[in-house]
Amino acid sequence: MEQALAFGTIGLLASKVIEMLKYLRNKDMNGAFTLAAVWIAGVVSTFLAAAAKVTETLVLPGTSIPLGTLDGASLVLIGLTLTSTIGTVYDFKKALDNGDSAKQPPLLGSGPVNNA
């Protein structure tokens, strides 16, 4: 079960990479910048969690490996997959929100703020 979960999250990361390519192909800089900012925040947060005393012994689900003992590449992968998974959940929530009640302004430029 843990392996299926790991491969599933890597698949979600691949889906977000394709989303980034679509943003860049269509010159949607707001979408590309937002996705890049989310990934950067996820990676930085994962490195901070691995270095902090309060979370360095946190064990990833399905493993017995404490977060603080992982190498840099593992921390980058975890940060990217976690934020991609959360981004996919957010996209699903947006798709169900027919009334646009969860609308948020774009990260770049200006736009309406509506119940963010």
> Is residue 109 in a domain?
no
Report residue 115's pLDDT band, with 50, 70 and 90 as the boundaries: very low
Residues 23 and 31: beta-carbon distance below 8 Å: yes
Q: Which domain holds residue 57?
A: 2-96
Cα 85–chain centre separation: 6
pLDDT for residue 73 is more than 90 = yes
Q: Residue 16: which residues within 8 A CB-CB, separation 6 or more?
A: 35, 39, 84, 87, 88
Number of domains in the chain: 1
> Is residue 103 in a domain?
no
Backbone dihedral angles phi then psi of residue 29, each to the nearest 5 degrees = -70, -30
Q: What is the pTM of this model?
A: 0.76
